[in-house]
């Protein structure tokens, strides 16, 4: 049974959210439209209320496809869900890489155009949580936060956050307009942002964890022979999916499988339960296109690990061998 959590002061969301990017972008060919709409609605029926997208999650034919898809799928139940989208980056289309470098752009006029475009594509009059997708070194956090305060006053957004936030940027932005959540990469294989937890607790800011299963590796469903489309699938260039990594991660995945068997769960559920049981303000947003996987991930909210078990897992993760893990697309200047 899905439970709820509160991000920041007052944004109530499902304990596990749905990352919708993969329906359109980064994980192979896009899902057929009707099937994608059906899957997103099925997630709602399973108890998901928080749906994450961004203005840049699209296809070659339509760079904004994912927002349109999410808007179409949630239109009839809009008042019962929280829509999360993002502004502030575009892709460097001159690059031949499958995961093209990101160009941050948080100039006020760009944010204004972005929010209007997102509202239109999502078919809604407000965005529940609006994330700055990446920090822009050319625009101060105070200036971005000022625009967010204006958008909240205008009713176009109700809450805002920062993705891949640093402590200094978060503190400065929060002073101008209270931040509801940060959205950072976080998994058993990527724990660098745990250093931010004391700051989040001090400021009462939530943590939305993206790539909570290390882009799927922690499901324990992939082996050294797994193959990915080099033109459409970011995993084809991720270090944790190489044949060498399969050997390096063998002990980690064995540990996950053993603990899952002990708890009557799956490795995916253990990797999510670990973070859910660690802090009450963490909300993972695993991406999935299959309804059975959504059901499995939702079930993680019912897998209970004690504080001692979480601590023991942390110790194991500190010491167990593991491969490098994808750290995100590179950032380039505009």
Q: Which residue numbers are catalytic?
A: 57
**Structure token pair of residue 265:** 């769960």
Task: Name residues whose C-beta falls within 8 Å of residue 221's C-beta, 6 or more positions apart in sequence.
Answer: none
Segment holding 161, helix H or strand E: strand 160-163
Residue with tokens 């699938």: 233
Q: Which of 89, 51, 88 shows the shortest CA–CA distance to 67?
A: 51
Please state, in angstroms and rounded to a whole number, the distance separating the CA atoms of residues 242 and 236: 8
Please state, in angstroms and rounded to a whole number, the distance separating the CA atoms of residues 40 and 247: 35
Residue with tokens 């899952």: 260
**Structure token pair of residue 149:** 């305060």
**Structure token pair of residue 152:** 């909240």
Q: Which of 228, 239, 258, 266 shows the shortest CA–CA distance to 322?
A: 239
Please state, in angstroms and rounded to a whole number, the distance separating the CA atoms of residues 296 and 328: 26
């Amino acid at each position: 049974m899905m439970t709820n959590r509160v991000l920041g002061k007052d944004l109530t969301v499902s304990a596990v959210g749905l990352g919708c990017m993969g329906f359109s972008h980064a994980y192979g060919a896009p899902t057929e439209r009707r099937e994608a709409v059906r899957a997103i609605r099925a997630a709602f029926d399973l108890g998901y209320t928080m749906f994450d997208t961004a203005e840049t999650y699209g296809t070659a034919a339509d760079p904004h496809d994912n927002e349109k898809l999410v808007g179409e799928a949630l239109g009839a139940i809009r008042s019962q869900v929280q829509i999360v989208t993002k502004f502030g980056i575009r892709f460097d289309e001159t690059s031949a890489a499958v995961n093209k470098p990101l160009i941050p752009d948080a100039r006020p006029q760009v944010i204004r155009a972005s929010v209007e475009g997102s509202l239109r594509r999502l078919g809604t009059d407000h965005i529940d949580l609006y994330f700055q997708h990446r920090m822009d070194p050319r625009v101060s956090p105070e200036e971005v936060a000022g625009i967010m305060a204006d958008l909240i006053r205008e009713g176009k957004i109700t809450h805002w956050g920062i993705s891949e936030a640093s402590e200094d940027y978060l503190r400065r932005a929060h002073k101008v307009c209270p931040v509801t959540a940060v959205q950072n990469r976080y998994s058993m294989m990527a724990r660098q942002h745990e250093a931010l937890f004391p700051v989040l607790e001090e400021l009462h800011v939530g943590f939305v964890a993206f790539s909570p299963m290390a882009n799927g590796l922690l499901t324990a469903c992939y082996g050294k022979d797994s193959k990915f489309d080099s033109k459409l699938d970011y995993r084809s260039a991720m270090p944790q999916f190489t044949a060498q990594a399969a050997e390096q991660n063998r002990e980690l995945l064995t540990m996950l499988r053993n603990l899952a068997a002990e708890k009557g769960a799956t490795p995916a559920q253990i990797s999510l339960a670990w973070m859910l049981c660690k802090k009450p303000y963490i909300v993972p947003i695993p991406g999935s296109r299959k309804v059975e996987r959504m059901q499995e991930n939702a079930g993680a909210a019912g897998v209970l690990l004690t504080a001692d078990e979480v601590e023991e897992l942390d110790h194991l993760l500190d010491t167990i061998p593991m491969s490098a893990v994808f750290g995100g697309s590179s950032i380039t200047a505009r």
